[in-house]
Amino acid sequence: MKNYAEFLSSKQQLWQTGGKEVSSQSISPILFPFELDLTVWAIRRGRCALFCDTGLGKTFMQLEWARGIGELTLIIAPLSVARQTIREAEKLGIAVQYVREQKLVFTDIAITNYEMIEHFDPKEFGAVVLDESSILKSLNGKTRQRLTDMFAATPYKLCCTATPAPNDIAEIANHAEFLGIMSRTDVLSRFFVHDDEGWRLRGHAKKAFFRWLSSWGMFLRLPSDLGYSDDGYKLPPLNVQRRIVESDYIPEGQLFAGKLAGITERVKARRGSVGRRILSAVELMHNSKEQWIVWCGLNSEAVELAKLIPDAVNVQGSDAMEKKKQAIEDFQDGKIRILISKSKIAGFGINLQNCHKQIFFGLNDSWEQFYQCVRRSWRFGQKKPVDVYVIISDAERAVLDNVLRKDKEADELRRKMMGAVKDYERLELKQVKKPEEYESEIETARHRDEYTLMLGDSCERMKEIEGDSVGLSIFSPPFLSLYAYSPTERDLGNSLDEAEFFEHFSFIISELLRVTKPGRNCCVHVSQVPAMLVRDGVIGLKDFRGKTIQQFEAAGWIYHGEVCIDKNPQAQAIRTHSKGLLFAQMRKDASWLRPALADYVLVFRKPGDNAVAIKPDLTNDEWIKWARPVWYDIDETDTLNYREARENDDDRHICPLQLGTIKRCIRLWSNPRDLVCSPFMGIGSEGFIAMKHDRRFVGIELKQSYFRCAARNISHALTERESGTLFSGGEHG
């Protein structure tokens, strides 16, 4: 059985090493120090991603990774990247063969393009590299899934691409799924929450998410991000210039070309300006002897441009693959002065820094396509300023403004992300674990015998409580809800699944048994847990109540009884928006309806004889009312104020236990001056009632904002009791 430290380590959501250990001396000295260290790390990981900006040596690193892994390796790359990979391999003394089908593979490392993957048998390869793996996002779902399924059993995998936008959930999830690290569904359910704005990273999940990312992916914009020198890595100036021409198209109902609604109007605006845009483009290139690449979105535009520019070559989708490849290579070699193509043909992975002049002949809203196309020329190693001309109609100004806005936002997000991951990445490269940030302290009341409040981890701090000293424990364990309230693995709620949750809970259940007096009770407030489609694959319920009973019995407790607490279904429907409680669902399809979720107080007894009899101050009528199996009269709003304890990163409101429930349990199963314990103190509800009813209290809370709130609430209750104002108002007395 794991000890607690081992268990906490196992809870960390990190990708475990599954590669091979190699010496840095076995890597080619051609590589820069940062490239060498990243390569050694990638070989050690076995399955991982290198998210490095253009010009940072991804080709060298992937080739050395393949050599270090030592398996038959297939590199899959965009069109025309094969030749530049083979050239780079020659510098390293590595033989790489371009092939289009399995039977032609005769070297340890082969390279092909994405369009040819169906001609290969993945079982023949021990390793696979996806070059420019951001194409996973651009490929249609069928092709992307085929890649993932084809290489699911491949033991070693490497993805290489430029740094993705940190808010691009699809790209990160697609990489994790291809590498076999985590499914897209698990990525969403563990780190993200869905609200009115769509999927967003949970506030408390940020550290865990970036730490997890850093365990299988290295993000690099500059060598200095990982503490290396940036010598030789400075981008030249980038000049984005707009050329606006008039369009003959004016949307119906407008005097001037304003905002365009939908693709149809945009196409009309582009066609209405094509003649003027062609003249603008021809003017630019006619007066220049340098190489140009022209990005066209419409085939008709590309054809017209090619007709008017004698030394231009148009590479389009209908061309034979060999023709496309040859044209791009001729452009790289300077044999072609002007290349006309689309972003999906030549916009990914290809090194076109031989050219520093680009034209976007029209534009769509895809920042990703714009960014990737620009980076073909604007990359580390480019010696000249890069001039990018965007030629659009006056009706399309908003499109360019939108793309440039997205570019600015993406750059800012990348900066923030690098700030978040760089410390984890540096430690990851050095194989050093970052010490956990963990606070603990003891705060005691001015009357030392009245209460002790502990800030910290219940699994550890309960060891400070004397054995056989607690007369009654009462608490509500945290929800199984990842990163809803805190970022730490010490939070019971931050568990991947029920198995991990109850393994964690077992440490506390055992300590509760130790500190409780023989024959005394423990009251656990629970409710059933909804099963969610994104997390569990079904919509339904999970028997949290039953599993809690099983866990306590396994630890040596006696299951003594339970109370069901009635809940208001309308209030629950408003709060949870549960499909099974809605009037609309009743009218649509009542098969989905279910009763509201009740609360339960599960009562467990420690074996042995109770040394001091409990004599509650109850009348017979009160006992008859409280002995019912269902309590119908608990006021759901009868709680302490939780709002002041809420933090900005909290994704849920804390749900304090109703004071009426606590009062009944304390009056039924404890005597005055007994010690009442709560290992999940929250904002102090159990201690608040304990003080009001002349009990002593020991409480533990992990979250500092809740702990401070609990200290105020409990101190206030004790002050009121001692000043005689305790019962001056309300039912709580």
For residues 455 and 449, what is the distance between their CA atoms, to the nearest angstrom?
18
| 309-336 mean pLDDT | 89
Statement: residue 161 has pLDDT above 80: yes
Q: Which residues pair with 523 in a beta bridge?
A: 474, 603
Cα dihedral sign for 631, 635, 640, 645? Answer: positive
For residues 383 and 356, what is the distance between their CA atoms, to the nearest angstrom?
9
Q: How far is CA 70 from the centre of its chain?
A: 32
DSSP 8-state assignment for residue 554: H
Question: What's the pLDDT band for 349 if we cut at 50, 70, 90?
Answer: confident
Domain ranges of the chain: 11-226, 238-409, 441-723
Of 463-467, 481-485, 722-726, the range with the lowest mean pLDDT is 481-485
Q: Residue 711 has what pLDDT?
A: 92
SS3 string of 363-385? CCCCHHHHHHHHHCCCCCCCCCC
Span 20-36, pLDDT tens digits: 999 989 999 999 999 99
Candidates 491, 583, 576; CA nearest to 539 is 576
Return the H-helix or E-strand segment holding 514: helix 498-515
Statement: residue 485 has pLDDT above 90: no
- Tell me what the pLDDT averaged over the chain comes to: 85
Most confident of 62-76, 245-259, 448-462, 537-551: 62-76
Span 89-109, pLDDT tens digits: 999 999 999 999 999 999 999
The upper half-sphere exposure of residue 431, i.e. CA atoms within 13 Å in the direction of its Cβ, equals 9
The class of domain 441-723 in CATH terms is: alpha beta
Rounded to the nearest 10 degrees, what angle do helices 321-332 and 81-92 cross at? 60
CATH of 238-409, one of 3.40.50.1370, 1.20.200.10, 3.90.1580.10, 3.40.50.300: 3.40.50.300
- The first and second tokens of residue 241, run together, are 């210039």
SS3 string of 287-348? CCCCCEEEEECCHHHHHHHHHHCCCEEECCCCCCHHHHHHHHHHHHCCCCCEEEECHHHHCC
Percent of the chain surpassing pLDDT 90: 45
Assigned superfamily of 11-226: Tandem AAA-ATPase domain (3.40.50.10810)
Q: Residue 204 has what pLDDT?
A: 75
Question: What's the pLDDT band for 138 if we cut at 50, 70, 90?
Answer: low
CA dihedral 206, 211, 215, 216 (to 10 degrees): 20
Do domains 11-226 and 238-409 share one topology? The answer is yes
